[in-house]
Amino acid sequence: METTIGTSLTIGETLRAYLELTKLRIVILLIFTTVTAMVIAAGGSPRIEILLPTIIGGSLAAAGASAINQYIDRDMDGQMTRTSRRPIPSGRIVPLNALFFGLALLAWSVLVLGVWVNWLAAGLAFLGSIYYVIIYTLLLKRNTVVNIIIGGGAGAIPVLVGWAAVRGSLSIEAFILFAIVFYWTPPHSWALALLVNTDYAKANVPMMPVARGEAVTRIQILLYSVQLFLITLLPAPLQMLGVFYFLAATALGIIMIRMAFRLIKIADKAAARRMYKYSTAYLAFLFLAMILDQAFK
C-alpha cells in the first residue's frame, strides 16, 4: 500500500525528510574513504579543482543510491522497528518522489564527475550505485545469506572513484584499498544484524544471524576481522604507506580482533553494540591514519 505525504508537513520538515533519504552519515564516511584514496594517489594533497567536484559528485551518487534503495525497501522498512520512521514508511515522502529524487541525484553525479573530473570516475560512481541498487538490494538482500559479503563491493567502490579521479586509471594500490573496505563490511554489518536480528527475522531478510544463527555469525565476524587485519597491513610492505600507518593499522586491527573474540565469549546485545560502534570508528581511524601517514612524509 502506497503512503502519501502528510498535509501538515512544513517546508523545513520536508527538506529534512529528503535529507534523511540520503543517509548523510553513511555518505560522509564513504566520501572520507574517497578523499583518502585521492590523497594516497596524489602522494599528498590532491588539486582542489579535482577534489571538490569529486566530493560533490561522489556525495550525489551515494545519496541517490540510498534514496532509490529506500524506495525499493519501503515495504520491508515499514515492518521493522529500526526503519519504520524512515521518510517513506512514515508517510513523510511519497514513494515515487523518493525514486525521482534518487534518479536525479545519480544523473547529476555522473554529469559533475564526467565533466569536471573524468569519465572513468563518473562511470565507477555510477557502477557503485547500480551495484548497490540492483545487485545488493534487488538481487541479494532478500534472497541469500551472502548478501552482505557480495554486496560489500558497493561500499568499496568509492575508493576506486577517488583513485581514478587523481590518476585517471586504476592500479593494484587502488584495489587494496577496495579490499580493505570490502572485508570491513561483513563484520560491521553482521554486528548490526545481531542487534536487530528480530527485525530482520520479522521482515524475512536472510541476514547471517537469521539464516545461520547468532553463534555462527559471531564466528564469521572473527574470521573476517582476521582477514581484514591481514589485508590492512599490505600497504606498508608494498610501500603504499609507511611506518605510521603500519603501527596504527596493527593497533586498530588487534583491538578489532580482540572485540570479535569478546563477542564470542560474551554473547549479548551489549557486546554486539560495542563491536558495531567500534567497527564504525575503526574504518574512520584507519583511513585517517592513511592521510596522516602521507602528511608525515
User: Torsion over CA of 75, 77, 78 and 80, rounded to 10 degrees?
Assistant: 130
pLDDT score for 9: 84
Is the pTM higher than 0.85?
Answer: yes
What's the distance, CA 208 to chain centroid?
18
d(CA 129, CA 236): 31
Phi, psi of 43 (to 5 degrees): 70, 25
pLDDT score for 153: 93
pLDDT score for 6: 45
CA angle 233, 234, 236 (to 5 degrees): 80
**DSSP structural state of residue 137:** I
pLDDT score for 4: 45
- Type of residue numbered 214: E
Residue recorded with cell 534523511: 20
Taking CA atoms, 206 is separated from 25, 152, 189, 200, in Å, by: 25, 16, 13, 7
d(CA 246, CA 234): 9
Residue recorded with cell 503512503: 3
Domain 13-168, classified CATH 1.20.1250.20, yes or no: no
Could you tell me the three cell numbers for 236? 606498508
Taking CA atoms, 191 is separated from 50, 140, 215, 219, in Å, by: 36, 19, 12, 11
Domain ranges of the chain: 13-168, 171-292
Residue recorded with cell 572513468: 120
d(CA 16, CA 29): 20
Closest by Cα among 197, 202, 199 to 213: 197
Could you tell me the three cell numbers for 273? 553494540
Closest by Cα among 137, 24, 131, 27 to 87: 24
Task: Please check whether residue 98 is in contact with residue 67, taking contact to mean a CB–CB distance below 8 angstroms.
Answer: yes
**DSSP structural state of residue 163:** H
**What tens-digit pLDDT sequence spans the chain (297 residues)?**
344 444 478 999 999 999 999 999 999 999 999 999 999 999 999 999 999 999 999 999 999 999 999 999 999 999 998 899 999 999 999 999 999 999 999 999 999 999 999 999 999 999 999 999 999 999 999 999 999 999 899 999 999 999 999 999 999 999 999 999 999 999 999 999 999 999 898 888 999 999 999 999 999 999 999 999 999 999 999 999 999 999 999 999 999 999 999 999 998 999 999 999 999 999 999 999 999 999 887
Handedness of CA 286, 243, 262, 210 (dihedral sign): positive
Return the exposure string of 167-191: e unless at least 16 CB atoms fall within 10 Å of the residue's CB, then b.
Answer: beeeeebbebbbbbbbbbbbbbbbb
User: Torsion over CA of 81, 83, 72 and 280, rounded to 10 degrees?
Assistant: -130
Could you tell me the three cell numbers for 284? 574512520
Task: Please check whether residue 228 is in contact with residue 244, taking contact to mean a CB–CB distance below 8 angstroms.
Answer: no
pLDDT score for 8: 77
